Amino acid sequence: QVQLVESGGGLVQAGGSLRLSCAASRGTISSYGMGWFRQAPGKEREFVATINWSGGRTSYADPVKGRFTISRDNAKNTVFLQMNSLKPEETAVYYCAADQWGGGGRIRTQYEYWGQGTQVTVSS
């Protein structure tokens, strides 16, 4: 079992960048597929990006392709989400999640463990 802690959120102007981190405070995530999701007020939680256990396969939601990059450092037990060219409509709580089967994925139910989220606010 793992516990996930997100960090790196904050307030940024439109067009700016943030780098989110997701660290395992308990357990190791080196064999887990990982994902990032986000939830804006009044909206469903939506998929952002995923990476498999080795880092050899990634996938992104269409709206973030070319601007966001997911990566991982298994030695540091951490997953990252680099977000560039941020838009006001991307204001949301960003969550990381862990899939014990290693593949990650685009669907929430593929993940067994979730962090508590970090707020990202993009001002116009």
Per-residue model confidence (pLDDT) at position 102: 93
- Tell me how far the alpha carbon of residue 91 is from its chain's centroid: 14
Per-residue model confidence (pLDDT) at position 123: 98
Per-residue model confidence (pLDDT) at position 1: 86
Q: pLDDT at residue 108 above 90?
A: yes
Q: Give the mean pLDDT of the chain.
A: 97
Phi, psi angle pair for 71, to nearest 5°: -150, 170
Per-residue model confidence (pLDDT) at position 19: 98
Q: pLDDT at residue 4 above 90?
A: yes
For residue 11, which of 102, 98, 92 has the smallest C-alpha distance?
92
Instruction: Kindly report, residue by residue over 16-61, the tens digit of the pLDDT.
Output: 999 999 999 989 999 999 999 999 999 999 999 999 999 999 999 9
